[in-house]
Structure 1
Amino acid sequence: MSHTAHIRSHRKPRRSTPKISVRAGVAGGVLSTLAVAGAAGAANAAEPVTQTVELPTLTADLATQVAQSADATQQAAANYELQAERDAAAAKAAKQAKSDLADAKKKAEATKKAEAARRAAAERAASRSAERATLSASASASTSASTSTSTATGSAATVIAFVKAQIGDAYVSGGTGPNSWDCSGLVQAAFKQVGVSLPRVSQDQSTAGTQVSLSNLQPGDILYWGGAGSAYHVGVYVGDGMFVGAQNPSTGVVEKPLSYDPPTGAVRVL
């Protein structure tokens, strides 16, 4: 056995080849990275640096809130518009109601007046019917009892002859002859023939003489329609229940029975 067989060798043990290869690869990679980084740094140093600022984006919750707020604003505007329309409609309805109420009051008043006029007309018609009956009875009694009331003499005969001579002439308001007359113009002209001066208008002629009842008429009496002093028409009683007068534009001067248009009263001037 050799005397050096137990002496430990001072030589480092040999590393295995695979580990050395790995380390060499790592070292090479590091160097390559450093080289690339250096090249990139040099390139960046030569070009200007541009920074990009990213704006914050809306989150889904915030977008929903914005949409809801817009909807609420739109709904509020719609509500205001609807309320304005309702207020305008209410004001218009109130105005229309006021107008309708005024119209209703006017119609009610008109109806009331029309009813009053109808009743008054009915009362006048009834009164006239009663007067006709009275006059007819009076005329019949007078004719059967005596002929003195139907035979005119003296001045009365002259008056009656004059008015009968004008029968057929025209009626003209304000007419005083010789071919057209109104009622009071004819009566005034007739009595002028016998020297009696009468007032010009019916109202005054109805109070020119002595008032007589319709049941005691004599030829030549002046008949009037309306109140004494407010008469609107006059004529001359010619006997036998007849009178002559300038009635209206349609008839002119005519001779009619008392029942045709019963007078209100009579006056005697002869």
Structure 2
Amino acid sequence: MSHTAHIRSHRKPRRSASNIAMRAGVAGGVLGTLAVTGASGSANAAEPVTQTLELPTLTADLAAQVAQSADVTQQAAADYELQAERDAAAARAAKEAEADLAEAKKKAEEKKKAEEAARKAAAERAERAARDAERAALSASVEVSSGSGSSGSGSASVGAGVSASTATGSAAAVVSFVRAQVGDAYVSGGTGPNSWDCSGLVQAAFRQVGIDLPRVSQAQSTAGTQVSLDSLQPGDILYWGGAGSAYHVGVYVGDGMFVGAQNPSTGVALKSLSYDPPSGAVRVL
């Protein structure tokens, strides 16, 4: 009887050529022995013959192979698990680095915006302070010149090329006021102090010298004496459109220039008459 051990496995172990040959030899030996035993039994039926066969033991070799295979499989599994852990750690590190970079960019952008806002606010404060100083000086000059009388309607008419420096009294005050607002924003319905529409600016300028003009451009275009565009003086009100139906007004400041709250793009601006020739003019000073 064979003493070969049985080893559980999901796969049948492959038989090598040497193992097959050895087993074939054993089988042949067994058959031969049985044949001799049969022959001897016929001759000597009264005396039985017993022969013990020593079969090769394969259990140790197979166990060693299985153990070696198990070690290899376990080592491969450990290597795979280690590599998986390294890959996961690398992925986490990359994700954290990406998040840190995004946070750094966000902070840098916020800092840049804050610095830009601070610079803009500082510039606006400086500009506002300069305008306030100019307006204060203008108010002082108006108080000094208020008793000198109007220089408008009693003066001889001059050409459109008259210099702003020749304006005196109330006309000079009006011109100085509108010039001081150059750069302010245009806002529909604006009446100051830092944003205007066209008629709001004109009304505020003449209020500096005690003249209360109507609020809208249509009424302002008929508030004084109609004058020729060839006879303009500083302080005259220019209008665009028809008298009584004007859609825009400004103030002539001399040297062929006028100041008006033009539009949201330009704001309050100093422009040449050729930039946008007016339709007519009125004189209220």
- For the aligned pair, the TM-score class normalised by the smaller chain equals 0.3 to 0.5
Q: Under a length normalisation based on structure 1, what TM-score does the superposition of the two structures give?
A: 0.46
Instruction: Give the number of the structure whose alpha-carbon radius of gyration is greater.
Output: 1
